[in-house]
Chain A
Amino acid sequence: MLVESLTRLLKDHVDQKLLVAAKQQGWAPELWRKLDEAEFPRVSLPEEAGGAGGTLSDLAAVLRVAGRFAAPVPLAETAMLAGWMLAASGLPVPRGPLAAGPAHGETVTARREGSHWILSGTLTRVPWAQTASRLVLLAHTTTEAIVANVDPRHCRIARGRNLAGEPRDAVRLEDVPAEQAAIAGPGVTQETFRLRGALARSLLMAGALERALELSVEYAQQRVQFGRKIGQFQAIQHEIARLGGEVAAAVAAALSAAGAMERGGDVTLAVASAKIRTAEAARDGALIAHQVHGAIGVTDEHALHHSTLRLWAWREEYGNEAAWSTALGQAIQEGGAEPFWPAVTAH
């Protein structure tokens, strides 16, 4: 139901014109309004916090479809990261597009001034900060972690973008007062933030890969060379089959990791595997899709690049496959040979 209605909405509204405009403007505010009316940015957030209810797997399904249509809106940041931090810490989730931070390796400090929390920090690449109505941050005092909500107009924002033109902005907070703040709720840690960010990108990549395959199949069914449709050549068929494998593996890995996170417990193996596998699929998948398309696929008038540019950007965000593999490999080696198989088969 959720997937069908979102697919219909995006099919009706996301076209080449919208994507080209979003590339210039950074996002698609009209599309956001429509998604917002239908409550999609609040899927998986509890109703008492202003959310739309639903499970994490529901949100996973939403992000997969959003990735498939390259929807230029901060659905992942709003629901998976910012909304989650707020709701888990007992704070209401404000309407509007949200951004979240800080990324791995960066910190925001918090201090109390009377009844207010004051935040400071320098963040280098915050997704969608320039388009966000609120910035939700996990900040630290010397003793505790708090979740705070700030107005981006109080921050210094230097606009940046990723390969696909999505906003990735430098944000500087100099004694910015929090609008709302609370002690970080159970499970709201930098580690979980990174895991959820990686999961969100895995799901978006799975969807983007599906689109790259759809476009490649369509093209191979129509394009004629040497008097035949190129899909009739075995060389092209085998490339399409290989692309299919990458796409199927990405979909299975990303959705399985979402299922694991929904069930709880230690999700490191699941999420690391999903980010590694989808990033690998992005590497081979994007290039196979371009190879099948030939020269037309690399032009800005063809739709393929909306998917492939995002794949090349998203695979790096919240840790690329090398970073996650190294961390996962380290954990496995420290655990030793015998516990490895039991860990793989725990679910």
Chain B
Amino acid sequence: MADATLQTGSLEERKIREALPGALVKAKVHKGDLFLCVRREQIREVASLLRNDPELEYKFFSECLGVDYSRWDHERDLDGRFEVVYNLLSLKLNKRIFVKVAVDDGQKVPSLVPVYAGAEYPEREIWDLFGIVFEGNEQSQRFLMPDDWVGHPLRKEYPLGGEDVLFAEGDRGPAVEDIAMPHAGESFEGKTGTEDVSGR
């Protein structure tokens, strides 16, 4: 299968390039694992192909995770602030692959719930902790964080160690004057080395 247009020569890459030309931005093998970098708009088609193709059968959705690359100064596979990495398993091939999409603030990733029912909770968690919106799986309630929490804590600019305890009444703890802007006027210097709290 020595096709010059393939970057890895893998069956998965060839299938995607044949069926969905243009969907694949990059394919690479890193430390023995196959990474497929996919255009965000076509992630659902790519996932359906990987799941339903009789030679692939990536039917087992292990997880998906978000990564915030805003402080990353090394080489990247994709452009965009965040990456969502899907981790799929084929019991037929006994093989695990990673599918990645890039997303910026304000953009949406199509939800994979119609393809993999198991994607629902990981996507909710990514929304909760990174603020990445999944189209078709939009949430109004926090998943892991408290319901009245402001901001998305796994973003890189989000400080650790700087939070006050968010109580509504002043007599039960260090109260925050304005819950919508809990850190207004406060410096995080010496706590996390940053004063930028734009994530909240």
A and B associate: no
Interface residues in chain A, defined as those with a beta carbon under 8 Å from any beta carbon in chain B: none
Interface residues in chain B, defined as those with a beta carbon under 8 Å from any beta carbon in chain A: none
